[in-house]
A and B are shown apart, each in its own frame.
Chain A
Amino acid sequence: MPTPAILITGVSSGIGLVTALDLIDRGYYVYGSLRGTEVPVELAEAPNFTPLNFDVRDREAISAGISRIGEEGRPLIGVVNNAGVAIPGPVETLAEEEYRRQFEVNVFGLIAVCQLALPLLHAAREEGHHPRIVNISSVSGSLTAPYMTFYSSSKFAVEALTDGLRRELLPFGIDVVSVAPGPTKTPIWRKGSQLTEAFEKDRYQHLVPQLEPYTQAAERGGVEPQLVADAIYAALTDARPDAYALIMNKRWLARVVSKMPKRWQDRFLTKRYR
């Protein structure tokens, strides 16, 4: 019987890379999407890995990648929608191009991959497998910190898409769950911290010096990506996985804050900027 396969988007770094290596270690065949043609060394050397060249914003390329999975004949038993970007900036001043990119990747890209991969997931299910879709969300999918509002907004949308798709696929037995990391030791915010243009407008200039220390603190207080990879593995394999797994240090605090009145949250989440 062919080795069951899992598709992970965005495996060039961070959570995607660590998860791909982890799942290969655990005996899966992994298809990993990358935007460029450069495959990280660890993956290039792995036996059960095929890189797929696509940007999740490019539906035709996704379609070509997924056709390849179909042709190779391994049952696709999981999709991990990991590819994502994090764009900081005030709502008032962030360029349209930037906030659109936030949704193009995190929301429309995720929908496109789901739509194009679902025929293979249905096929695997018809062969008796229990296929899963795991969407990588964020603690920002349930709490909105200022100046990360668009990122948060895209992750709120991912939470709704996860719940909705799970409810729509319930009759077919394809499970859909979200794994929501808090700060993680990955380059996602480092990439974002270079985008300071939106802060350089009159009303928000005073925030510029706070951005870099903030990014550093988030990374320092972050969990290791391996912890997130473990949660993704559990989501793919547990008999009855959590429909929502929040992975962060002091996650009780995030849970409590998300249930507090909004005006109280406002004070809590704006504290560091005062």
Chain B
Amino acid sequence: MQDSILVTGVSSGIGLTTAAYLLRKGFFVYGSVRRGAGPEQLTASPSFKALNFDVRDRDGIRAGIQQIHDDGARLIGLVNNAGVAISGPIETVSEEEYRRQFEVNVFGLVAVCQEALPLLHASRELGFDSRIVNIGSVSGYLTSPFTSIYSASKFAVEALTDGLRRELLPFGIDVISVAPGPVKTPIWQKGREQTEAFDNDRYGSMLEKLGPYTEAAEADGVEPQVVAEAIYRALTDEQPDPAVLVMKKGWMAKLLKLTPKRFQDKFFTKRLAENRRY
């Protein structure tokens, strides 16, 4: 029997690339998509099955995981990838938007973990090494202005990763975060259309910077394949690194995190003046 892995949010970006890579590596992949049959690149494989759920919908998640159970699959990995990135000043971002940021990135991740854990425990009891890989972000380490709410959700994911790993330690289920920096994916492209929060007296001047700011993030980004490989290692290495930062000059982000906050403030202000995030 093939080992199975559930990846949430496989319609584009890191999720799609990761699902495709795990298929090539011989896994059976269950991939969640909010609607439709899933990308052709995946559905062409006999080892792929699309599950239709939005991570905000617990009943939907439950039905999807029930299907994995009914298939008699051996679930040895869960990759919590589904996520959104919402930009805007904290002062003006609408309640609906900041709630959506947490609904998907935090509550969605928690719900999928809770629903999938019985299957991960079952595989573990059969002697398999089961793992949860949460997709974090460099924004879970450092907070860049105007993506603070996104950052807050990814900081929350870092804590959830550490806490869940410590809680599952006695059972031997490992929990890891793979945190990409800028990646060549549409996540910020999707976010770029949300400019409402900037449309006011105090933050209007930011509006013209927003395009270049997010475009630069994509241009400097790593290929999603690099992230997919890090996820694969997190799922298969004997003793994986529990917190992997995948970005160009990742050492700089780690160093910056160790510097005093006021120094970090200056760094981000300077970056902002140059239309860059990191």
Enumerate chain A interface residues (CB-CB to B < 8 A): 59, 90-93, 96, 99-100, 103, 107-108, 111-112, 114-115, 118, 122, 140, 144-150, 152-161, 163-170, 172, 203, 242-244, 259, 262-263, 265-266, 269-270, 273
- How far, in whole Å, are A41 and B172 apart by their CA atoms in the complex? 51
> Does B106 lie within 8 Å of A168, measured CB to CB?
no
Most-contacted residue by chain A among B99, B142, B163, B261 (CB, 10 A): B163
Selected contact of B265 from candidates A91, A158, A166, A262, CB within 8 Å? A166
- How far, in whole Å, are A92 and B167 apart by their CA atoms in the complex? 9
- How far, in whole Å, are A35 and B106 apart by their CA atoms in the complex? 27
> Does A161 lie within 8 Å of B90, measured CB to CB?
yes
> Does B95 lie within 8 Å of A59, measured CB to CB?
yes
Quick one: given A107-B102, A161-B152, A259-B258, are A115 and B110 in contact (CB under 8 Å)? no
**Segment of B5-13, B111-119, B226-234 engaged in the interface with chain A:** B111-119
**Which residues of A sit under 8 angstroms from B243, Cβ to Cβ?**
262
Q: Closest B residue to A204 by CB, please name it.
A: B167
- How far, in whole Å, are A198 and B157 apart by their CA atoms in the complex? 20
Within B125-145, which residues are at the interface with A (CB < 8 Å)? Answer: 139, 142-145
B224 → chain A, closest Cβ, in Å?
A: 24
> Does A266 lie within 8 Å of B166, measured CB to CB?
yes
Q: Closest B residue to A119 by CB, please name it.
A: B91
> Does A144 lie within 8 Å of B90, measured CB to CB?
no
- How far, in whole Å, are A269 and B167 apart by their CA atoms in the complex? 10
User: Is B214's beta carbon under 8 Å from chain A?
Assistant: no
17 A-B pairs with CB atoms under 8 Å apart are A90-B167, A91-B160, A91-B167, A107-B156, A147-B167, A149-B162, A157-B152, A160-B148, A161-B149, A163-B151, A164-B145, A167-B143, A167-B265, A167-B268, A172-B202, A270-B166, A273-B170
> Does B145 lie within 8 Å of A92, measured CB to CB?
no
> Does A91 lie within 8 Å of B110, measured CB to CB?
yes
**Which residues of A sit under 8 angstroms from B121, Cβ to Cβ?**
203
A252 → chain B, closest Cβ, in Å?
A: 16
> Does B160 lie within 8 Å of A167, measured CB to CB?
no
**Which residues of B sit under 8 angstroms from A145, Cβ to Cβ?**
163, 166
Selected contact of B111 from candidates A96, A111, A167, A168, CB within 8 Å? A96
Quick one: given A111-B90, A157-B155, are A152 and B163 in contact (CB under 8 Å)? yes
- How far, in whole Å, are A158 and B149 apart by their CA atoms in the complex? 10
User: Is B264's beta carbon under 8 Å from chain A?
Assistant: yes
A50 → chain B, closest Cβ, in Å?
A: 25
User: Is B28's beta carbon under 8 Å from chain A?
Assistant: no
B157 → chain A, closest Cβ, in Å?
A: 8
One digit per residue, 1 when the CB lies within 8 angstroms of any chain A CB and 0 when it does not, for chain B 88-108 equals 011110010011001000110
Quick one: given A96-B58, A243-B261, are A152 and B159 in contact (CB under 8 Å)? yes
- How far, in whole Å, are A203 and B122 apart by their CA atoms in the complex? 13
Quick one: given A92-B113, A164-B143, are A153 and B269 in contact (CB under 8 Å)? no
> Does B165 lie within 8 Å of A266, measured CB to CB?
yes
> Does B99 lie within 8 Å of A108, measured CB to CB?
yes
> Does B163 lie within 8 Å of A149, measured CB to CB?
yes
**Which residues of A sit under 8 angstroms from B262, Cβ to Cβ?**
243
> Does B90 lie within 8 Å of A163, measured CB to CB?
no
Within B247-278, which residues are at the interface with A (CB < 8 Å)? Answer: 258, 260-262, 264-265, 268-269
> Does A144 lie within 8 Å of B98, measured CB to CB?
no
Most-contacted residue by chain A among B95, B146, B165, B171 (CB, 10 A): B165
User: Is B164's beta carbon under 8 Å from chain A?
Assistant: yes
**Which residues of A sit under 8 angstroms from B139, Cβ to Cβ?**
160
Q: A96-B107, A164-B143, A273-B170 are in contact. List 6 more A-B contacts (CB 8 A).
A: A59-B95, A91-B113, A160-B139, A160-B155, A164-B152, A242-B261
- How far, in whole Å, are A157 and B100 apart by their CA atoms in the complex? 15
User: Is B37's beta carbon under 8 Å from chain A?
Assistant: no
- How far, in whole Å, are A110 and B147 apart by their CA atoms in the complex? 17
Quick one: given A146-B166, A262-B242, are A164 and B107 in contact (CB under 8 Å)? no
**Which residues of A sit under 8 angstroms from B260, Cβ to Cβ?**
243
**Which residues of A sit under 8 angstroms from B202, Cβ to Cβ?**
122, 172
User: Is B158's beta carbon under 8 Å from chain A?
Assistant: yes
> Does B148 lie within 8 Å of A168, measured CB to CB?
yes
- How far, in whole Å, are A149 and B158 apart by their CA atoms in the complex? 10
- How far, in whole Å, are A154 and B106 apart by their CA atoms in the complex? 10
- How far, in whole Å, are A160 and B146 apart by their CA atoms in the complex? 11
> Does A157 lie within 8 Å of B156, measured CB to CB?
yes
**Which residues of B sit under 8 angstroms from A59, Cβ to Cβ?**
95
User: Is B169's beta carbon under 8 Å from chain A?
Assistant: yes
User: Is B32's beta carbon under 8 Å from chain A?
Assistant: no
Q: Closest B residue to A111 by CB, please name it.
A: B98
Quick one: given A103-B106, A164-B144, A164-B145, are A243 and B265 in contact (CB under 8 Å)? yes
